[in-house]
Amino acid sequence: MTRQPGRNLPIGVFDSGVGGLTVLKAIRVALPEEHLLYLGDTARLPYGTKSARSVLRYATRAVAHLQERGIKLLVVACNTASAVALDELKKTLAPLPVIGVVEPGAIAAVRTCPGGRHLVLATEATVSLGAYGKAIRELDSKASVIELACELLVALAEEGWTQGDVAEGIVRKYLDAHLEQDPSSRPESLILGCTHFPILWPVIRSVVDDSIAVVDSAMTTAVVVESYLRDRGIANAGGQGSLKLLATDGARRFARVGGSFLGTPLSVDDIELVDL
């Protein structure tokens, strides 16, 4: 394999806030030798309740910053931005490769339940675009998809109330109507279509019985990234990878909330503020 220019450059990982750290964590596990440059657009979060126009504008500005710093690949680790802006970002950043999280999530769901009934939990913006429905039906014309906006789960994850009665009550309130259906129409897979939701996995699992598969796009996205780099010979080899965290606002809050998403405590000094 020839040594490609740029293989030592970091992988850029972009999100509206801290949720994308669940994807970053999966990439770190899969690719421990890679340098990772994360940008959370905390000054403009959440994207999930904003219009497509605003999300596109914010995301374009943010990823341009990552491109200027020098990256070899961009991961849009935000379901809303992936749903709204992925095609546009690919055009803007070309020839830089761009990988979103919706398609990997759809691939994982279709592999888990071919021809199945899928229930997607996501933000309002992702749901209003029907992004998962489109991606899944393109891969599997027999699949059926219901997309459900669950904004309160975002706030719940950010507040760190990831277990207990309140968390369970909120999850049940969103899901009960779907889970109580007749087995012939009940969902067979539940897709965590927002990067905030993996930290709620234990409470979701406690509400959803084992007959329903819970699909999280973070790990699938990491696998897609790994394949992409290896196929093109631009994976970093040898030595320990590194992690650099950027945010557009609120380093203290980013450290506190982000630590729980990353699964590693963060301090304010770990975050570099950038003004976009």
Q: Which residues bind its own copies (CB under 8 A)?
A: 42-45, 49-51, 53-54, 124, 151-152, 154-156, 158-159, 161, 164-166, 169-170, 173, 249-250, 253
Pick between residue 223 and residue 273 the one whose CB is nearest to its own copies: 273
How far is 106 from 213, CA to CA, in rounded Å? 13
| Cis-peptide, bond into residue 265, ω within 30° of zero | no
In the numeric block, which tokens belong to residue 94?
Answer: 């070309």
How far apart are CB 57 and its own copies at their closest, in Å?
9
Pick between residue 1 and residue 268 the one whose CB is nearest to its own copies: 268
Whether residue 194 lies in the annotated active site:
yes
How far is 62 from 97, CA to CA, in rounded Å? 16
Pick between residue 14 and residue 47 the one whose CB is nearest to its own copies: 47
Catalytic-role residue among 13, 78, 83, 190: 78
Burial, 58: exposed, middle or buried (Cβ in 10 Å; 0-12, 13-18, 19+)? Answer: buried
How far apart are CB 246 and its own copies at their closest, in Å?
15
Residue 269: other Cβ atoms inside 10 A: 8
Q: Which strands form 117-122's sheet, in the order they lie side by side?
A: 144-149, 117-122, 189-192, 213-216
How far is 54 from 262, CA to CA, in rounded Å? 27
Pick between residue 168 and residue 226 the one whose CB is nearest to its own copies: 168
Burial, 239: exposed, middle or buried (Cβ in 10 Å; 0-12, 13-18, 19+)? Answer: exposed
Whether residue 150 lies in the annotated active site:
no
How far apart are CB 71 and its own copies at their closest, in Å?
25
Catalytic-role residue among 143, 194, 208, 219: 194
How far apart are CB 172 and its own copies at their closest, in Å?
8
Catalytic residues: 78, 194
